[in-house]
Every structure is written in C-alpha cells, then in structure tokens.
Structure 1
Amino acid sequence: MTSPLHHLQRAGRLERLFINGHWILPEGRERVSVICPSTEQSLCEIALGDARDAERAVLAARGAFPVWSATPPQQRAALLGRIHALLLERSDLFAAALTLEMGAPIGYARSAHVPLAAEHLRVARDNLASYPFIRPRGTTAILREPIGVCALITPWNWPIYQITAKVGPALAAGCTVVLKPSELSPLSALLFAEIVAEAGAPPGVFNLVSGTGAEVGATLAAHPQVDMVSITGSTRAGVLVAQAAAPGVKRVAQELGGKSPNIVLPDADLAQAIPPGVVAAFRNMGQSCSAPTRLIVPRNQLDRVHQLALAALGQMKVGDPMDAATTHGPLANRAQFERVQQMIEAGLRDGARLLAGGPGRPEGLARGFYARPTIFSDVHANMVIAQQEIFGPVLAILPYDTVEEAIAIANDTVYGLGAHVQGTDKEQLRAVAARIQSGQVHLNYPAWDPQAPFGGYKQSGNGREYGIEGMEEYMEVKSVLGYYG
C-alpha cells in the first residue's frame, strides 16, 4: 500500500497551504504534530496558517467568484465528476491516511469513509446536471443564485466525508470556498486539495488553510468578504462561529452535536432490532454525531435485549486498525479518549448497570487511545450518560413502559440530529417518527441515502446537508416579478 505520509512529504504538502491554485508556505512558522492514535506517537508535523493566510485565501476566493458563479452548470458538473473519479482512483491512499490520522480500521475506511465521501461528490454532480436554477411562479421567476464565498469548517471524526459533503454542493451551487479542516486529522484534506487541483479547479475556486479554530476558524467566520460559514463540529464550536459571524449578518449552517435515540417498539422483532442497533451505536468507535447511543426498549423485554446486545458486542474486535480483522480501532485523539473515560465513570457514579466494558483500555492494548466498548442498562433519562454527548463507544439502554413514555424519553434532550425507530406496524412507525424532534429518522435500519437531507433540530444545529437541500443551502433566493409578463 502506498504510504500517504511518504506521498505528502515527497510532494512537500505538509508544510504548505493551498491558496489561489498554488501550494504556498504559510505566513507564520507555527507547526503542530499529527498524532497517530494507535501508537500515541507523532506521525509528522504540518504547518498551520494564521489570520494572514485566511485573509489571502478569502481574497483569492472573492476574486474567483464572479467567473466561477457564471460558469455553466455542465462545466461545474464536469469538474465535480473529475474530482469524484480521482477520489475513487486513489481510494487506498485516502483510506490509509484515515487509518493513520484518526484510527479508522482500514477495512472500514475502505468500505465506508472513502466510498461514502465519493458519493457526496457524485450526488452534487448529478443534482447539478438537472437542477432548475430558474422556476416560474405565475409571471414571477424564482431564481437560485450562489451565495458567494463560503468558509467550510470540518471535523476530525469523518474527515474526508465531511469535506466532500460541503465542498461538493458548494462548488455545484457556483460558490467559491475556503476549507479549514481539523488540524487533528489533516492528511486526507491535503490529499483532497491535490485531487481538486489535478481535476482542474480554476485558481481561487478552492482554497485550503490548515489552522486552529481560534485563529483561522474565527478569522473566516468574522471576515466581511465571507458570505457564509458551514461548520460541522461540537455545539460549543458552532456557537462560537455563529457569534463571530453575527456582526456580518452572514449565513451560518451548523451540523453539531447529537444524542440520538433508537426506539424499539413493543411489536419489534428483537433479533432484528437489537444487534444492528448496537452496531450503529458503535460505528466509527462511537465517534458519529448521529450514532443512536440511547437504546429505548420495552421494560418487559429487557433480559432478552441484554442477551442480544452482549452477543452483538461479542462480534466486535478492538485492535490495530491496520489489521483487516479489526472492526474498531482507537479513538481519534487523547482528548476524546479522556472524555470517554470520564463519561464511563459518570455512568458508574450515577448508578447505571454496567453490562459490558467499563473504564480503561481493552485487555492486551497497553498503548494507544483504545477504549472498551461499553454498555450500560437501567439508565434513567436524567443521568449524565443519557443527556450529554459522549462521542465514543458507550451505549445506554433505557427501559420504558408505554410508547408515550418512549417518545418522551427520545425527546428529552437538547439535541435533535438523528433518530431510529424499530417495529413491524408501518403506520405506528410513521406516527412515532412524526413525533420525534430530530432532523432525520430511520425506520428499521434503511440503507444510507445520500439524497436524504441531514441536519438538526434544537442544539444540533440549523441548515441541511446532502441532496438537493444541501446544495440549496449555498444559494440565495431571488424573485423577479414580471419576468414572464
């Protein structure tokens, strides 16, 4: 397998930013180590940009916007198609980078992280090809126009997936972008900048500035020449970005935290409902904002739920993410490892029943940010582990006596990003879904749909990503009266 580190070092990418079509040295000299989560050792150092670099990138994007926004949709779609093809062509390189930088098992990086990221590009390309930018409404024309320069701030947990979920529709809409990836998992972002350049993006249309949220993120959010900010991250980070953006009255799209419920209705087939629920809660080592980490089940079926949940857990193997047999690797960074340990201790203090896992590393793993997949039962809705986002492999089982109580438990959270409902009565499934306060609801574990808009209620954010709605997020609406008079 080609080493992404060797590739990036040989090309001189680690010490450079991508601005206005060129790989350039940053204005400052700050560097940060990229830590391998499976060894806790430094992989390399990358250069961090500062406010001056963010300024250069914004001005480059502003300069490119008039021409790019007027480019025919078929030309923009062609660029997206070339980026999509290059991402698939180099899928092994991207997968290896993800394994190194954030601990994704190589098999999962290949089967989920990279192909799902590619799907965002394909969907953006295909939607653009048939999108009606002008629609009649009587004698009025409703126009959709690109909003302008967009700052895109992406997280460390699904690095390339979140990049394509933003860059694809933004470019499709006719916007120019400045990407600030997480400095904790930057390798896949640098590889992505390479393929955007190779695909022939005009100078200034796509720019990448590595840096911290406090420096580069804050500069981008407050910059008067930035028309929109799209951030995926914690609710705390989303609030800070919105506050910085507020004086400019710019649009802010936020995909933030979650504490997603999974309601198992009384008529559900537990053998079909519980094992996939455990797998979904622990996907990406629990580091998914929409992971259904609250399993809400009938109290009178609790023993059977326990049996099935433990059996599902027994199929998981935590270990070296480069091992093809590994299903779950380390947590992505030290801060997240420590957060998960604290939350497991909080569950024990609050009196939740520990079914499996617990504090510390799994047996045989003395080094690396490995955590024990943990299941608590007899969890009450007011416990810390039922209210706060853990962002790790911790599942809380909450029993209920009535469906009304189950719905109340599901909605008893400040978040509202994703939800699941399991059962056999289709009408009841739909009725329960209608009453859950979340931006997306999955009924009986359907296939992932890249056209399904994704976003949150309440403190899970605002705005939508994916599909047509994801592209429209990067557009302004203009009505021209008398257009058809």
Structure 2
Amino acid sequence: MSEYPSPDPALTERNALYIDGDWRYSASDATDTVINVADGSELGFVPRGSAEDVDAAVIAARAASDAWATSSVAERVEALRALSAGLAERQDSIARLISLEVGTPLKISRIVQVGLPSAVLSAFADTLTSYEWEHEVGNSLVVREPAGVVGAITPWNYPLHQLVAKVGGAVAAGCSVVAKPAGVAPLAAFAFADVFAEVADRLGLPSGLFNLVSGPGSEVGEAIAGHPGVDVVSFTGSTEAGAKVMRSAAANITRVSLELGGKSANVILPDADLGRAVKTGVNNAFLNSGQTCSAWTRMLVPRDKQDEAVDLARAAAARLTLGHPLDPATRLGPLASAQQQVTVRDYIRLGESEGAKLVLGGAAAPDGLDKGFYVQPTIFAGVDNTSRLAQEEIFGPVLVIVPFDSEDEAVSIANDSPYGLAGGVWSADEERALTVARRIRTGQVDINGAAFNPAAPFGGYKKSGLGREFGTHGIDEFTETKAIQR
C-alpha cells in the first residue's frame, strides 16, 4: 500500500461533463488520463469533450444568462457566499487533489490553492454590495449590464483559483459561464462543479449558469473561443496560447480578457533590509515550484551587494525541502507534467551555456526522487538581463540574480522585458519604494513584501495580457456599458 493513498475515486474518476445543471456523458466516448505528478502514476481520468459538447453548453448558458441577468444583487451575493462556504467545507479533500495533480505541497495547497479561491468568492460578494451599476453624465444615464455568456479557459498551475477568478466575476456581473479546465490538471474544476451543483440545487439557481467541458485546447478551447454564442472569452495561460485564443475570438469580434505570462522583477534598493528582501523574494520565486505567472523570477540587487545576496538566496532556497507534495516536511513539490520538467531542465542547461553563474541546483535529477516530475531549486547569479534566461518565462524553480549600479538602471532593467505582470520593490523609505513602483510598467507591484489583495485588480501590461481580474475591475470585465440620453 502506498504511503500516500490516492484521493476518493469519486474525485478522480470523472466520466461526465457538467452541462445545463446536470452531469451528462460527452458526445465523445474518449477520456483523458490525469497523472499523479509525485510518481508518474495514473491519478484519474476525465471525459474528452468535443465541439458538440461546447455547443450544448453554450445553448444552456445562453438560457441561463437571460434569467440570471435579472437576478438581484442579494441573490448574487448569496450565491457567491454559498460557493465560498462550499469550497471551505471541502478544503482538505480538494487541496489533496490539487497537490497530486499540480505538485503544490499540501500545506500550501490548503492555504493558496483552496483557501484563497474561497476568499476570492467572498471578496466578490463584498465588492458587489457596493458596486456602481449606473451613474449620470450630463443628460445621460450610464449603465452597466451583464455581457451574457462567458467562455472561461483556465490553466493548470492554480486550477481552482483561476477558475474562481472568472466564475466569481461572471456570476457577480449577472453572466453565465462555459468553462474549460487545463488538460494537465482538470480534477479541481470538477470538484468545483460538485460544489456549484449543490449550491445551485439548494438556492434554485438557473440550470446552465455554470457549465464544465473538459478536453483538449485544440478542440474544446478553440470551440469556446470561436463560438458565436460566447460574448466574452476570459483566458489564463501562456502568451502563445493567448494569441491563438485572440485570433479565434476575432472572427466574431468577441471581447477577450487575457492573463498571460510574466518575468517579474524584484527590485532590492541599496537601503533595503537585504536579508528580508532576499528571503521573501526566494519564497515568492519558488512558490508552487516556480509555476506562478506573477513570480518574481528576476532578483535585481546592487552590484556591491550581489555576493551577500547570493549567499542569502542560497541559504533561503536550501530550506525549501524538495519532496512528495503530501509529505508534511515538503516545501517544494514536483512540477505539473513530464513536459514541464523537460522544459525547465533545458532552460537550466541554457543558462549554463549562456555563461550565467550557477550557484545552486542544476539540471540533474534530485537525489532520491527518481519518480515524479522533480527539478532542483536553481539559482543563477551575475545574469545578463538580455539573455534568454532573464527574458523568457521558465515556469519552474529557477531564479536569476541581476546586478545593477543605480536606481535608474534598476528601473530600466525591470522594464526591459516583453512582460509586465507583477514585481516587487524594497526600500527602508516607503516613499522611495513607491516612486520606483510607479515607474515599473507592470500591472501590480508589492512594496516591502505587501500581501496579495483579492479585491484589487490583477492583470498585466505588454505581453502579460489584457484586462483585469478580481474586485470591481473583475466584475467590469463581464459587463457592457450603455448610455441612455434623457
């Protein structure tokens, strides 16, 4: 018997899609296997949906959107709070599931992979109570109305959190949803559908308000993005995949919201508490084994403090015990797929060939972890910001340390990236940090390790995407604006 038994088969062996308020078999008889990332074994399976299933889901969502658009704010708040509570009640079982399909250590899964989505739904409910649906401009009444049907295409790194970001905003706005989870980690989305089904039945929500169709992006994802019955497409994933979604949506002039890649800079100014800044920066960069789009994967440090920063970073990373995601001692788990493991190891070899100084880790397999998709926590120092190692999103436990000689140069390096999703600034003078944060072209910047705010807008500049999620802005994404003159 395994030291870490598998979750309940009811959570891992899914043979039906959730469409129009009911579980139904896919038009296709095929299934897709879900892999246990800790050892490479089969964790479960989900239906391989088709374009025909998407059609059925969109029809159901269209009918539901017409009904839900006229619902009251109180009804929407009640639904959001019930969904939040439903996730909280299932926190342990869903966290365990995500740990095995993504690799996140269980303690972190409970807090981030499940606890945060529950908090996000509550935050949407709170925001909705004071959301401004209309205001006057001269002789015009400007109103916001539900956009209609939302197509939500979500990634594998935070499979529940990213789904909730879209569903929560859409439900708050009065919209219905057709969702497609990532093929690598789809099981959390099915667990959410279980919660939604229970809440919908108890509260009498319209059938078809939330629909789930799993399957390959090349068929199900493209069918959603290019469907004439979808009013807004919200996608989270790679920049390359986001561009494909945008092209598919363009045929129908469908609005898109894209949350894409990142290569965020953590700027540590000369007067900062170096020890705290480096330790927090390492933990941020390696959260979820580096599989975080907003991770601070470039650490910018004063040149005369680079050696000290390297020692501090090495010590901080050494405390991140690599191991099975269900082991209580594990701080760093495996990656989410064999392909991702290959990609990250190739980037590490590339960094060495580019001349960066490897100060921790490397591409070799970790000792004692020959099964599963593990990669050693890896740090490079003296990195040239123009190198591929510093310019391209790696999506693994790889941190690059880039030296700078002045504050202006630090800002220039931080902005010298095709991405603009997140970042950090550290200084003993908060006003100085704020001045630098204003100069960095990213969608969000944390000063001195400030906490994530689920009610604040999240999204990026440049190739990091279009639009914003969470809070007021996350509701705005799923509304249309109308001016009524009188």
Following the alignment from structure 2 to structure 1, what is the Cα–Cα distance between the partners of residues 303 and 347?
A: 24
Q: Which amino acid aligns with 2:10?
A: H
Following the alignment from structure 2 to structure 1, what is the Cα–Cα distance between the partners of residues 425 and 391?
A: 19
Q: Which residue of 2 aligns with 1:354?
A: 358
The counterpart of 2:397, out of the listed 378, 393, 399, is: 393
Following the alignment from structure 2 to structure 1, what is the Cα–Cα distance between the partners of residues 249 and 177?
A: 16
Following the alignment from structure 1 to structure 2, what is the Cα–Cα distance between the partners of residues 194 and 5?
A: 14
The counterpart of 2:469, out of the listed 461, 465, 470, is: 465
Structure 1 pair 334–2 and aligned structure 2 pair: CA distance change class (3 A): closer
In 1, are the aligned partners of 2:103 and 2:288 still within 8 Å (CA)?
A: no
1:447 aligns with 2:443: no
Any residues of structure 2 matched to 1:62-211 within 5 Å, and which?
62-200=62-200, 201-211=205-215
User: What runs of 5+ residues in structure 2 fail to find an aligned partner?
Assistant: none
What are the superposed Cα offsets for residues 374-407 of structure 1, whole Å, 9 maximum, x if unpaired? 0000000111110100000000000011111111
1:140: how far off? 2.0
User: What runs of 5+ residues in structure 1 fail to find an aligned partner?
Assistant: none
1:39 aligns with 2:43: no
Structure 1 pair 2–339 and aligned structure 2 pair: CA distance change class (3 A): closer
Any residues of structure 2 matched to 1:305-320 within 5 Å, and which?
305-320=309-324
In 1, are the aligned partners of 2:9 and 2:44 still within 8 Å (CA)?
A: no
Q: Which amino acid aligns with 1:242?
A: M
What are the superposed Cα offsets for residues 52-108 of structure 1, whole Å, 9 maximum, x if unpaired? 001100011011111110111111111111111110011011101101211111111
Following the alignment from structure 1 to structure 2, what is the Cα–Cα distance between the partners of residues 297 and 313?
A: 17
- What's the C-alpha RMSD, in Å, of the aligned pairs? 1.2
The counterpart of 2:303, out of the listed 280, 283, 299, is: 299
In 2, are the aligned partners of 1:2 and 1:93 still within 8 Å (CA)?
A: no
Q: Which residue of 2 aligns with 1:262?
A: 266
Q: Which amino acid aligns with 1:278?
A: V
In 1, are the aligned partners of 2:303 and 2:403 still within 8 Å (CA)?
A: yes
Following the alignment from structure 1 to structure 2, what is the Cα–Cα distance between the partners of residues 48 and 6?
A: 18
Following the alignment from structure 2 to structure 1, what is the Cα–Cα distance between the partners of residues 36 and 156?
A: 13
Is the deviation greater in 77-86 or in 135-144?
Answer: 135-144
In 2, are the aligned partners of 1:5 and 1:97 still within 8 Å (CA)?
A: no
Following the alignment from structure 1 to structure 2, what is the Cα–Cα distance between the partners of residues 151 and 5?
A: 29
The counterpart of 1:420, out of the listed 414, 420, 424, is: 424
Following the alignment from structure 1 to structure 2, what is the Cα–Cα distance between the partners of residues 202 and 267?
A: 56
Matched position secondary structure for 2:266: strand
Following the alignment from structure 2 to structure 1, what is the Cα–Cα distance between the partners of residues 440 and 14?
A: 45
Q: Which residue of 1 aligns with 2:333?
A: 329
The TM-score, its normalising length taken from structure 2, stands at 0.97
Q: Which residue of 1 aligns with 2:27?
A: 27
1:474 aligns with 2:478: yes
1:45: how far off? 2.2
1:47: how far off? 1.0
The TM-score, its normalising length taken from structure 1, stands at 0.97
1:366: how far off? 1.1
Q: Equivalent pairs: percent with the same residue?
A: 45
1:447: how far off? 1.2
In 2, are the aligned partners of 1:267 and 1:423 still within 8 Å (CA)?
A: yes
Matched position secondary structure for 2:221: helix
What are the superposed Cα offsets for residues 180-224 of structure 1, whole Å, 9 maximum, x if unpaired? 011211111111001101001320111000011100010111111
What are the superposed Cα offsets for residues 450-470 of structure 1, whole Å, 9 maximum, x if unpaired? 111010100000100011101
Q: Which amino acid aligns with 1:222?
A: G
1:244 aligns with 2:252: no
What are the superposed Cα offsets for residues 345-385 of structure 1, whole Å, 9 maximum, x if unpaired? 00000000000000122211111100000000000011111
1:3: how far off? 5.8
Is the deviation greater in 24-33 or in 424-433?
Answer: 424-433
What are the superposed Cα offsets for residues 119-153 of structure 1, whole Å, 9 maximum, x if unpaired? 11111111112212122233321101111100000
Following the alignment from structure 2 to structure 1, what is the Cα–Cα distance between the partners of residues 97 and 431?
A: 45
In 2, are the aligned partners of 1:98 and 1:109 still within 8 Å (CA)?
A: yes
Following the alignment from structure 2 to structure 1, what is the Cα–Cα distance between the partners of residues 156 and 11?
A: 19
